[in-house]
Amino acid sequence: MAKPAPRYPVLVIGGGIAGITAAVEAAECGAKVILVEKRAHLGGRVARMHKYFPKLCAPYCGLELNYRRIRENPDINVHTRADVLEIAGQYGDFSVKVRLQPQMVNANCTACGKCAEVCPVERQDHYNYGMGKTKAIYLPHPMAFPPRYNISKKACRGKECNKCVEVCGYGAINLDARETVMALKAHSVVLATGWEPYNGAKLQGLSFGVSPNVISNVQMERLASPDGPTKGKLVRPSDGKEVREVVFAQCAGSRDENHLPYCSSVCCLASLKQAAYVREAAPDANIYIYYIDIRTPGKYERFYQKIAAEPKVTLIKGKIAKAEHDPETGGVIITAEDVMAGKKITRKADLVILATGMQPAARNGLAGLKTDENGFFVDAALARGIYAAGAAKLPHDVSATIMDATAAALKAVYGRWP
Ligand SMILES: Cc1cc2nc3c(=O)[nH]c(=O)nc-3n(C[C@H](O)[C@H](O)[C@H](O)COP(=O)(O)OP(=O)(O)OC[C@H]3O[C@@H](n4cnc5c(N)ncnc54)[C@H](O)[C@@H]3O)c2cc1C
């Protein structure tokens, strides 16, 4: 006989691909679900990618299907701009406090964009990792779900300006909205808080944050994307010049006792994928990938071989020690070791991409829950009824994340332990 649906909803924290998957799978098993996402839109990091390895398809196909499953399922209740303050109680009967940031733009918003046209203030574009600007009232990105404008409280001049309120024909903007705290009951909890890119500025000598032509791998996703800051034109950030020499620096932070002691598992694949972006956007550019080891396990071996065999792609075993501004060309000079040739190399580059690793987003704490020494959740160390999924648990690719989140959803609904 089928088990009855849980009395209280399953709470999913984090609306990336792991959280979205856990939410739809749990709801389609008959549970009610509350999905809490701290940002204004769902999709997490993958919503900011240009393409997925190995198929090189756009993440939006899969995300859009999942958004439809959410839209069509009345049992899934989504709260964006929300995070969890407290989780108490036990499996089957958790009491949770959720902080709801002020919703200055409500569900009446039709995303017509008139508010942004009249807004006089600009802010750095968070979605594009600081490359480019948006207005203080902005749509996070063209495919944002929910498709609703959002206001940066820091940048907005409030009622002294009030232009967005005056132009909005739908009564969707309330600059007086305040933060609230919502108390709820949950049957079980899925932690799907994901990852953040390691801060490249912590890597001494690599000029991240010093030279605009040294960027991180997540910025490269935005630079290559047609809805990114350059509309997908691959140019030198400092002056918009065409790129001719492109260098990838692997293990920027990962596998380093001074930074992230673990392998972030997807960075080699991400750089190989981004080499394909360069091949497409700038076919004459030379591409150099400096690595410690190339790690492309299992089914990804073929993808590695395919990209490595592309013309103009060179893989060099050796770590980049220095990347410095080149006053002569405005580009970057890198110094690296070529392990196989047993020599030191210097090379001039237009663009250097640091393959910065993945750090758990919850490493600084979430409602007092235990993590390992690196900030990842470990199911066995969590209370019964609380399960982690996706990159909150381990650096994962998307297909492993989806499998893991599906398993977490089943445990959250049916109560298997661990
Ligand atoms: C450069 C790069 C390229 C990549 N390219 C690919 C690729 O092509 N193919 C592939 O398979 N994999 C790729 N990956 C891996 C992929 O990004 C991850 O597998 C995926 O993002 C994991 O999803 P997630 O939902 O676990 O985490 P995330 O995508 O990080 O989502 C977590 C969500 O939780 C939210 N959140 C965080 N904390 C809280 C909180 N306290 N409360 C509420 N919400 C919170 C976040 O805002 C976010 O929306 C790449 C990784 C990198 C570094």
Shared domain for 228 and 147, answered yes or no, is: no
| Same domain flag for 236 and 340 | yes
Q: Is 1 within a domain?
A: no
What's the total number of domains in the chain?
3
At which residue do the structure tokens 């393409």 appear?
A: 51
- Give the list of residues 6+ apart from residue 136 with CB closer than 8 angstroms, or none: 119, 121, 122, 123, 151, 152, 155, 156, 157
Task: Report how far ligand 1's centroid is from the alpha carbon of 29 (Å).
Answer: 24
Question: Can you give the residue range of the structural domain that contains 314?
Answer: 200-357
Judgement on whether residues 75 and 154 belong to the same structural domain of the protein: no
Residues 285 and 336 reside in one and the same domain: yes
End position of a domain, from candidates 311, 334, 357 = 357
Is residue 2 assigned to a domain? Answer: no
Q: How confident is the model at residue 417 (pLDDT cuts 50, 70, 90)?
A: low
Atom of ligand 1 nearest to the CA of 13: 43
376 lines ligand 1 (CB under 6 A): no
Quote the pTM value: 0.96
CA distance 282 to 318: 25
* Under 8 Å between Cβ of 272 and 53: yes
Whether 4 shows a pLDDT value over 80: the answer reads no
Give the bridge partners for 338, in sequence order. 343
Query: Tens of pLDDT along 171-228?
Result: 999 999 999 999 999 999 999 999 999 999 999 999 999 999 999 999 999 999 999 9
Confidence of residue 6 (pLDDT cuts 50, 70, 90): confident
204 and 187 belong to one structural domain: no
Do the domain assignments include residue 29?
Answer: yes
Residue 14 belongs to some domain of the structure: yes
Which residue lies with its CA nearest to atom 42 of ligand 1? 83
pLDDT tens profile 73-122: 999 999 999 999 999 999 999 999 999 999 999 999 999 999 999 999 99
Q: Does 336 lie in the same domain as 245?
A: yes
Determine the distance separating the centroid of ligand 1 and the alpha carbon of 63, expressed in angstroms: 13
Q: Is residue 172 part of a domain?
A: no
> Is there a domain that residue 331 lies in?
yes
Tell me the mean pLDDT in the region 131-158.
Answer: 95
- Express each pLDDT in 29-62 by its tens digit: 999 999 999 999 999 999 999 999 999 999 988 9
pLDDT, position 416: 57
Instruction: Indicate if ligand 1 lies below 6 Å from the C-beta of 53.
Output: yes
Report yes or no on 173 lying in a domain: no
Query: Residue 56 Cα, ligand 1 centroid: separation in angstroms?
Result: 17
> Within this chain, do residues 292 and 322 fall inside the same structural domain, yes or no?
yes
User: What is the dihedral angle through the alpha carbons of 129, 132, 134, 140, rounded to the nearest 10 degrees?
Assistant: -40
- Contact by Cβ (8 Å): 249, 354: yes
Alpha-carbon gap, residue 407 to 141, rounded angstroms = 30
Q: Tell me, yes or no, whether 350 lies in a domain.
A: yes
Domain stops at, among 328, 357, 386: 357
pLDDT at 61: 86
Contacts for 98 with CB less than 8 Å, ≥ 6 apart: 36, 79, 82, 83, 84, 85, 181, 182, 183, 184
Average model confidence (pLDDT) across the chain: 96
Greater pLDDT, 319 or 2: 319
Residue 1 reports pLDDT greater than 60: no
With a cut of 50, say whether residue 418 has pLDDT above it: no
Alpha carbon nearest to ligand 1 atom 27, residue: 194
Same domain, 43 and 122: no
* Cα R_g (the chain), whole angstroms: 23
- 75: domain CATH number? 3.50.50.60
Same domain, 65 and 189: yes
- Helix count (H) and strand count (E) of the chain? 8, 22
- CA of 299: how far to CAs of 53, 166, 319, in Å? 11, 55, 26
User: 223 in ligand 1 pocket by Cβ < 6 Å?
Assistant: no
Of 325, 357, 389, the residue at which a domain comes to its end is: 357
Q: Identify whether residues 264 and 380 lie together within a single domain.
A: no
Residues 40 and 185 in one domain: yes
Strands 245-252 vs 351-356: parallel, antiparallel or unpaired: parallel
The answer to whether the CB of 270 is under 6 A from ligand 1 is yes
Nearest CA to ligand 1 atom 5: 270
Residue-wise pLDDT tens digits, 247-298: 999 999 999 999 999 999 999 999 999 999 999 999 999 999 999 999 999 9
Please indicate whether residue 83, judged by its CB atom, sits closer than 6 Å to ligand 1: yes
346 and 374 together in one domain: no
User: What pLDDT is recorded for position 5?
Assistant: 78
